C-alpha cells in the first residue's frame, strides 16, 4: 500500500481507505493507550499496542485498530507481521470519516472473528462504549470497562 498518510484495510476482501486521524483523535488515543498500558503492565496482563499495526483476522480481513490489547494467554498471536488472530480487546476512536464503519462493518467483523471485547470511543459524546461478545454478537455493557474490572479512567482528563 502507498505511504500516503491514509489507512488501508481489507474488510472481507474489500479495500477500505480512510484519511489519517486528526490531532484531537491522536491526543485521546495517546492518553488512553498510556493509561491502559500502565494498567496492563503493572499487573502483568499482556500487551497494549497502537496503530499503525496490522491485525490479521484472516487472509481477506486485515484491519488497523486504534488500540489493541492482547492478554498474556494470547501472546503468541503477536508476531513480526502484526497481530495474527483475534486480540482480546479492540478499541476504535470515532472520527467523522470512520464512525459508520466503526459502528457497522468493523463491529460485525470483530464479532465474526471472535474478538471478545470491543470499545468504541465517542469523541463527540466524550464517552467510552464497551461491548462484550456473546453468542457471536456484541452486547453493550454499562458497568465497568471489561476485560479490566479494576480499571478506572478519568474521562475529563482523557478528553481534555
Taking the domains of the chain in order of start, what are their residue ranges? 27-158
* The predicted structure's pLDDT at residue 78: 97
Whether the pLDDT of residue 11 is over 70: the answer is no
Instruction: Give the C-alpha separation, 21 to 6, whole Å.
Output: 9
C-alpha grid cell, residue 109: 467483523
Q: How far is CA 4 from CA 17, 49, 65, 87, 149, in A?
A: 11, 22, 18, 27, 39
Residue 119: closest CA among 60, 67, 48? 67
What is 27-158's CATH number, 3.90.1570.10, 3.40.640.10, 3.40.50.1220, 3.30.70.1060? 3.90.1570.10
Determine whether 14 is exposed, middle or buried from the number of CB atoms within 10 Å of its CB (0-12, 13-18, 19+).
exposed
Whether the pLDDT of residue 18 is over 80: the answer is no
C-alpha grid cell, residue 141: 455493557
What confidence tens digit (pLDDT) does each residue in 23-63 have? Answer: 888 899 999 999 999 999 999 999 999 988 889 998 888 88
pLDDT band with cut points at 50, 70 and 90 for residue 17 = low
What confidence tens digit (pLDDT) does each residue in 59-91 have? Answer: 888 888 999 999 999 999 999 989 999 999 999
Amino acid at each position: 500500500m502507498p505511504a500516503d498518510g491514509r489507512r488501508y484495510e481489507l474488510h472481507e476482501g474489500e479495500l477500505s481507505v480512510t484519511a489519517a486521524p486528526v490531532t484531537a483523535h491522536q491526543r485521546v488515543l495517546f492518553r488512553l493507550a498510556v493509561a491502559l498500558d500502565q494498567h496492563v503492565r503493572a499487573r502483568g496482563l499482556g500487551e497494549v499496542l497502537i496503530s499503525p499495526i496490522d491485525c490479521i483476522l484472516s487472509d481477506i480481513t486485515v484491519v488497523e485498530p486504534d488500540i489493541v490489547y492482547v492478554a498474556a494467554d494470547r501472546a503468541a498471536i503477536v508476531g513480526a507481521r502484526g497481530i495474527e488472530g483475534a486480540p482480546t480487546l479492540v478499541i476504535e476512536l470515532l472520527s467523522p470519516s470512520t464512525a459508520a464503519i466503526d459502528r457497522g462493518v468493523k463491529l460485525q467483523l470483530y464479532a465474526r472473528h471472535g474478538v471478545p471485547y470491543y470499545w468504541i470511543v465517542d469523541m463527540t459524546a466524550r464517552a467510552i462504549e464497551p461491548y462484550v461478545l456473546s453468542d457471536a454478537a456484541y452486547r453493550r455493557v454499562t458497568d465497568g470497562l471489561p476485560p479490566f474490572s479494576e480499571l478506572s479512567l478519568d474521562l475529563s482528563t482523557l478528553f481534555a
